[in-house]
Chains A and B, each alone.
Chain A
Amino acid sequence: MSEVAKREERLAFTMLLPAFVVILLIAVYPLYTVFRDSFTNKVFASGQPVEFVGLSNYAELLGMTIKKLPPVIDEATGQQAIDPDTGQPVYERPITVLPREPRRYRELAQFSLFGNSYVIGATQPDFIKSIKDTTVFSLISVFLETILGLGVALVVSSGFKGRGIMRATMLVPWAIITVVSARIWQWMLGPTRTGLANVILSGLGLTDGQTAFLREASLQLPAIIAVDVWKTTPFMALLLLAGLQTIPSDLYEAADVDGASKVYQFFKITLPLLTPALTVALIFRTLDALRVFDVFQVLLSRTRYSMASFAQDQLIQYQNAGLSSAASVIIFLLIFLFAVLYIRALGVQTE
């Protein structure tokens, strides 16, 4: 290798060095410690000796069991007792059948199958629930954001007076701090008619105006999704708009000459040519949605967790560094798995 080439190589390494030191310090080494700590009983910020506990944190996080609920027998009739209020057969309470040793299982859900009643128990029901909630949240929000974002992008790209203003407007929700937008929505979704949502719904005669969107279990996820969709749709629209602008306009002119309808043009020209931009946007957004923290933490605090807010809470609130690290590793693997599946399914071409 010539002297000049060697000098150039040395310069390149010197200039990349700061970046690599930073990566080592804030990404590679911390990731390694998280992985290592996930096999220990480490307590955060304490002098307590750290012991290796094998896979016990993972077992604790993912431990689940299904138990059959025995019917309660009415002593007078010898038959299964019937609840006089609801008319439903009565079963033993889940706590009586769920194992307590070596780990205590708590109720996650109940279901009936072939006339029998079962209970699903989990050692960390909050974590299992957080996986389910985060997945549901991600799939629905990304789906809605894509559809709405595509709609907005098509409208804006159709060209009208004031298009520039529209494009500027689209940046507003994106620029608002996520925590701030969560707080604004928290106020709009207030449980009385001081909140806008309740004013509108009661004004339309649909409710009594006392709906607690953020406290009622069945409304929590829809509310969170609404906040995220508002915040992120414009971003999706911007990405798709950029994709739309790469489609040459003479394709549409030719189609017009041939008398193709607008709908036909959308499915035969727009959609196929937009696919690469759409794919990249979908991947980025889904990976982003799976690590959601801010909206869950601000709006639902400890009543319901996303995967990330669960891990953070275990670390800070309970100082449980071992368990939190194991949760982080699981999240990391799940997101990685999602990325691989996604890239496979959508057939992204790597150069």
Chain B
Amino acid sequence: MNKKMRYIIGRTLFWMLILFIFVYMLFPFYWALNSSLKTEGELQRTPATLWPQNPVADNYRAIFQNDKFTRGLVNSAIVATSTTALCLLIGSFGAFALGKLRFRGKTASLYLILAMTMFPQIAVLSGLYAVITTLDLHPIPSMILSYMIFTMPFTVWVMTSFFKGLPGEIMQSAQVDGASPFQTFRMILLPLTLPALVTTGLLAFIAAWNEYLFALTFTTIDPASRTVPVAIALFTGTIARQEPFGEIMAAAVTVTVPLVILVLIFQQKIVAGLTAGAVKG
């Protein structure tokens, strides 16, 4: 039992730990994939099998013929994209003012916007629903508008610190050249902030894609406007004998894969965005 042996044992344990973490994080997703490829008969077999004995795509075919699910996909895409666009537009306008312009009440404004993060969504739910019914808003624009409550504070926060970080000389030299502050914002600063826009945009998109409470509440009376999370939560199969878990798992895989690809491509940006708030504190 020498130093070398101890080293080897230590390394082995270390790699086993890494393998364990890896499997723990991915296993539920694997299980969804595995179940989605099984036949109805195999899904009911006990004990459950670790991989599909003869993989079939029946469940995928079924969910793409189910218009509740496909409509959910379309609705989610519309809601998440519009939320992101609106939030970036309004957010970067506000952030430019907070980050680069001088005016009274700046700190108060920033705190007011940040205070929204502390808001539990449930605290405004019935009031927000009342506003929507009074304005007679369709559920889809209602969701887009109300999702600002959690996407905007974050966007403003990150973009403000980004604008602050841009050198002031850029603005001054643009002013010397006769550009108005708004022109400076549009032509010079906005292109420079593209990286921050991508990061916050991605996070806003994912948050909107994920949202369930508002979506469930606002679409109670209008099932045609349901987004993916609501559709999956209320999923009933073509034969409503019992919960069609094969199809649910196929739907789970279908909505997860594009998001995971997106996240993996923009990995660095997302991690930077997620930790932006935390590290600066």
Contacts and interface: CB of A to CB of B under 8 A. Distances in A.
Interface in B229-243: 229-230, 232-233, 235
B27 to A, nearest CB: 9
A203 B48 CA distance: 11
Contact of A308 (B120, B148, B182, B235): B120
A11 B101 contact: yes
Given A175-B263, A294-B212, A298-B233, 6 more contacts: A12-B101, A20-B112, A155-B14, A171-B260, A238-B275, A321-B130
A126 interface: no
Interface of A: 5, 7-9, 11-13, 15-16, 18-20, 22-23, 25-27, 29-34, 37, 44-45, 152, 155, 160, 162, 166-185, 187-188, 190, 192-196, 199, 202-203, 209, 230, 234-235, 238-239, 242-243, 246, 276-277, 279-281, 284, 287, 290-291, 293-294, 297-298, 307-308, 311-312, 315-316, 321, 324-325, 328-329, 331-332, 335-336, 339, 348
Contacts of B213: 293-294, 308, 312
Q: Chain B interface secondary structure, helix, strand, loop or mixed?
A: helix
Contacts of B94: 15-16, 18-19
Interface string B231-259: 01101000000000100110110011001
A179 B260 CA distance: 16
Contacts of A173: 25, 28
A6 to B, nearest CB: 10
Question: For the side of the interface on B, what is the size category?
Answer: 35 or more
Contact of B130 (A9, A30, A188, A294): A30
Contact of B31 (A23, A27, A180, A196): A196
A179 B96 CA distance: 36
B149 interface: yes
Contact of A187 (B22, B45, B249): B249
Contacts of B216: 297, 312, 316
B55 interface: no
Interface in B147-174: 148-149, 152, 156
Nearest to A281: B278
Contacts of B112: 20, 23
A44 B127 CA distance: 11
B123 A8 contact: no
A179 B145 CA distance: 21
Cβ-closest 6 pairs across A and B: A30-B127, A242-B275, A33-B127, A193-B46, A19-B94, A291-B120
Q: Which secondary structure dominates where chain A touches chain B?
A: helix
Interface stretch (B1-9, B56-64, B190-198, B266-274): B266-274
A175 B218 CA distance: 24
A345 to B, nearest CB: 16
Interface string B32-62: 1001000000011111100000000000000
B228 interface: yes
Nearest to A351: B281
A329 B126 CA distance: 11
A8 B249 CA distance: 55
B191 to A, nearest CB: 17
A279 B206 CA distance: 25
B29 A184 contact: yes
B229 A26 contact: no
A26 B128 contact: yes
Nearest to B142: A26
B256 A12 contact: no
Contacts of B125: 34, 311-312, 315, 324, 328
